[in-house]
Chains A and B, each alone.
Chain A
Amino acid sequence: MALTGVEIFKLLPKTNCKKCGFPTCLAFAMKLAQRQASLDACPDVSEEAKKILGEASAPPIRPITFGTGDKAVKMGEETVLFRHEKKFVNPTVFALEIKDTEADDVIEAKINDVVTSEINRVGQLLRVDSICITNESGDAGKFAALAEKVAQKAPDVPVIVATESPEAAEAAIKPFSGKNAILYGVTDANADKMVEIAKANKAIVGAKADGLEALSALTEKIKSTGVEDIVMDSGARKASELLEHNTYIRRAALKKSFKPLGYPVINFVQRDDSMFEALIAGLGVTKYASIVVLSSAEKWKNLALFTLRQNIYTDPQVPMQVEQKIYKIGEPTPDSPLIITTNFSLTYFIVSGEVENAKVPAYLAVMDCEGLSVLTAWAAGKFTGSKIANFIKESGIENEINHRELIIPGYVAILSGAIEEKLEGWKVTVGPREANALPAFLRSRAA
């Protein structure tokens, strides 16, 4: 748990020598408590104090990097239970499971699904981040062959090696040695051997137990061998258990500073029905899983899961507004239509999406109305004829287009006259009220 300024002060030399740059030890302690100073600034602090302060200032959920290179992903480091309090930090990792009992063509297709899963959504590149190979056969040779194939065809993808057999683990982890893979399947029964294999290959330890008490005991046991990087499976598989365990783990780590559960969580959500599996995966995304293991990665399912992850992990502090400017949709020419709306981010998303839908290149003038929607902004006097006229004039759009026609939202048809009065030489056209009528509207004009 974070220490208070006074608690920190008790650990300092109390000489007020000022070498840290602060007038007193107490002033320095206060800054440390607010995380605005670093302990390194005091040259005289004791080793014991360093150790206590170091442990206390460690993040309650350990940050871990899974994989290496461009495709490495960060996990852990979360600070809150509810996203409105503060941004959720490291987005859930999606892992596709491949079993060593699956047919060769299925294996190849799945590897390909992962490698080609990347899509761009509102400016972010999103993908299935990882592959989880599972030793379903119980045969070490088969498992090693699968590992080789994955290492070859998906060379940079972070990998989870899932088995409870040290022999199979030893055989399959080799191609991922030194690559921050996860060796999952470390239980109370096999921990001694498995931890050695993980250490020898610089792998993260994937601890598996039945229930939270057993899991806490297991992570402590693993930690006592000197291992720091652990991901945890509580054995939860049903939705009700996933919610209960994930919630208790997050709370125990954040609110009780319970170190044995202060690690990222891995959820296995495989189901026979892929759509249903996606909903359980969604539970993992919203409720605190750092890794979700899936049995299939169809494109439609990826899109839904990527979008949910993106939504849940956006920064809630960022106001619901977009920047005031003239956005280009498609590749507009000087003859393309000019449409105006307000800068409420939902309004912007919906209108720009519909204009895109229409496949008619256009200019979208987004006016700063303090993040209000069209009707609200109009009612509040922020979306008025003269303000619109000023915005259009100052935007410089007149130099980019040949025409002088402005399309306004149907809800504010009443503004037509006022705009034309203030914006000399311009013609105002009233567009549809709802954005979903825009494609038909734009297409019929373009025809």
Chain B
Amino acid sequence: MAFVAPKETFAGKVFPVTIGTENEQTFGGENTLPFHAFEGEVPNRPLIAYEIQDVPPEDWPETVRKVYDAVGDDPVKWAKFCQDELKAKAIALRLIGTHPDNKDLSADDAAKTVSDVLGAVNVPLIILGSNHVEKDSEVLVKVAEVAKGKNCVIGKAQEANYKTIAAAAMANGHKLIAMSELDINLSKQLNILITQMGFEKERLITDPMCSALGYGLEYTYSVMERIRLAALAQNDPVMQPPMMADVGMYVWKIKETQASEETLPEWGGLEERAIMWEAMTASSLMLSGAEFLVMRHPKAVELVERFVDELMG
């Protein structure tokens, strides 16, 4: 029996999304399963953005916080450090300080931070809220205006607040992240609601909700695979936006990135373990379909970029 390569081609295709103005970045655009260049077209690498915050990273575990010791007190310094020293291709600014339980910073405070950061860097900017449904609709509307014309990514729109956020992204020429909780039907539903407002599906990014290795990774992994199969095999246009994995935030709050080797000798060195955890979560989710990732530790980013090099090379 002679071997014949069982190639599979699909009718559907993931939309390519381009962000930024000066140093544009494009992700998505493939008509095949993740990294299946042997049977389809994979025109773009996944894009990894470095995460920064509007307030100092006090709650980030030591292993990653220390990287930003000299710059964490100022989002502008922090953004420049990522762009100039770490060679970030994109920066994700999380306005976590606006959360009522955090510093409860106002929409105006956030707008100032966004415009300062935009003035200081020329790589694409992703602007993320604090995930507080009401506060986000106030804050993200304001920052979308300030960033008008910069072709940013704004997020995240959820079922409870998508209307105001999507309208603001649309009016100011941004891309939009639509997030729902680990369910392909909820994802689809939200994308439909947003496109019904007149927001183009080609400008959307689907966030099916990230989970860290060991803390539900398999749920995110499988929801992503199902969304991708719906996009390719069923050619469902609502499921064709590229997918996001918000890796850093989920990884750097669990025990594996914090517990010392003294307390848990059987887990080995903390530094390697923590970086490994972020890199492994990211690489696994790329294999299930994530094209746009937000990460924190430069060493983890470097590992994952190398992984992509080998997969695309």
Q: Do A and B bind each other?
A: yes
Residues of A within 8 A of B (CB): 82-84, 119, 121, 212-213, 215-216, 220, 238-240, 243-244, 247-248, 251-252, 255-256, 258-261, 275-276, 278-280, 282-283, 286-287, 298-304, 307-308, 310-312, 314, 316, 320, 345-346, 349-350, 353-354, 356-357, 373, 376, 433, 436
B311 pairs with A353, CB closer than 8 A = no
Minimal beta-carbon separation of A208 from chain B (angstroms): 16
Contact of A240 among B256, B275, B311 (CB under 8 A): B311
Pairwise interchain contact A300-B38, C-beta atoms closer than 8 A = no
The CA of A346 and the CA of B253, in the complex, are separated in Å by 14
Please name 7 pairs of A and B residues whose Cβ atoms are closer than 8 Å in the assembled complex, sorted by A. A252-B6, A279-B307, A311-B218, A312-B218, A320-B219, A346-B211, A349-B215
Minimum Cβ distance to chain B for residue A47 (Å): 24
Residues of A within 8 A of B304 (CB): 279
Indicate if the CB atoms of A244 and B38 lie closer than 8 Å. Answer: yes
Task: Tell me the complex Cα distance, A258–B4, Å.
Answer: 9
Say whether B135 faces chain A, with CB atoms less than 8 Å apart.
no
Q: Number of B residues whose C-beta is below 8 Å from A? A: 60
Chain A residues, Cβ within 8 Å of B299: 275
A408 vs B213: C-alpha distance when bound (angstroms): 27
A301 to B275 alpha-carbon distance, docked (Å): 10
Whether B255 and A243, one on each chain, are in contact in the complex, defined by CB atoms closer than 8 angstroms, is: no
Chain B residues packing against A (C-beta within 8 Å)? 1-6, 8, 35-38, 59, 101, 181-182, 211, 213-219, 221-222, 225-226, 229, 253-256, 258-259, 265-270, 272-273, 275-277, 279-280, 283-284, 287-288, 299, 303-304, 306-307, 310-313
B40 CB to closest chain A CB, in angstroms?
A: 12
Contact A83 B211 (CB under 8 A): no
Q: Is the Cβ of B213 less than 8 Å from the Cβ of A307?
A: yes
Query: Can you name 7 extra interface pairs (CB under 8 A) apart from A119-B266, A308-B284?
Result: A244-B38, A248-B5, A251-B8, A283-B307, A303-B267, A311-B221, A376-B181
CA distance A126 to B229 in the complex (A): 32
Residues of A within 8 A of B36 (CB): 243-244, 247
Query: B253's closest neighbor in chain A, by CB?
Result: A436
* Pair B307/A316 contact, Cβ less than 8 Å: no
The answer to whether A316 touches B222, judged by C-beta atoms less than 8 angstroms apart, is yes
Q: How far is A115 from B209 in the complex, measured between Cα atoms in Å?
A: 38
B276 — nearest CB in chain A belongs to which residue? A304
Residues of B within 8 A of A286 (CB): 221, 284, 287-288
Q: Is the CB of B275 within 8 A of A275?
A: yes
B268 interface neighbour in A121, A301, A346, Cβ under 8 Å: A301
* With known contacts A279-B304, A308-B280, A316-B222, A213–B2 Cβ distance under 8 A: yes
Main secondary structure of the interface of B (DSSP, over half): helix
In the complex, what's the smallest C-beta–C-beta distance from B180 to chain A, in angstroms? 11
A311 touches B35 (CB 8 A): no
Q: Which of A119, A256, A283 contacts B287 (CB 8 A)?
A: A283
- Top 9 nearest A-B pairs (CB, nearest first) are A299-B268, A300-B268, A300-B273, A239-B310, A216-B3, A84-B222, A311-B218, A307-B214, A244-B38
Contact present for B266 and A275 (CB under 8 Å): no
- The answer to whether A346 touches B219, judged by C-beta atoms less than 8 angstroms apart, is yes
Q: Chain B contacts of A303 at CB under 8 A?
A: 256, 267-268, 273
CB of A279, distance to nearest CB on chain B (Å): 5
Cα(A356)–Cα(B1), bound, Å: 56
Q: Bound state CA distance, A141 and B217, in angstroms?
A: 47
- How far is A119 from B267 in the complex, measured between Cα atoms in Å? 9
Beta-carbon contact of B35 and A275 below 8 Å:
no
A316 touches B218 (CB 8 A): yes
A256 touches B6 (CB 8 A): yes
* Alpha-carbon distance between A278 and B216 when the two chains are bound, in angstroms: 20
In whole angstroms, how far apart are the Cα atoms of A82 and B218 in the complex? 11
How far, in Å, is B136 (CB) from chain A's closest CB? 15
Contact A298–B181 (Cβ < 8 Å): no
CB distance from A245 to the nearest CB of B (A): 9
With contacts A84-B226, A247-B36 taken as known, whether A304 is within 8 angstroms of B221 at the C-beta atoms is: no
Q: Which residues of A contact B254 (CB under 8 A)?
A: 350, 353
A83-B218 in contact (CB<8A): yes
Complexed CA–CA distance, A136 and B267 (Å): 31
Q: Identify the closest chain A residue to B225 (Cβ).
A: A82
B313 partner residues in chain A, CB cutoff 8 A: 238, 240
Do A304 and B307 contact each other (CB < 8 Å), given the known contacts A240-B312, A247-B36? Answer: no
* A311 vs B218: C-alpha distance when bound (angstroms): 5
Check if B213 sits within 8 Å of A311, measured CB to CB.
Answer: yes
**Cα of A311 to Cα of B212 in the assembled complex, Å:** 10
Residue of A nearest to B211 (CB): A346
| CB atoms of A282 and B283 under 8 A apart | yes
Cα(A82)–Cα(B8), bound, Å = 15
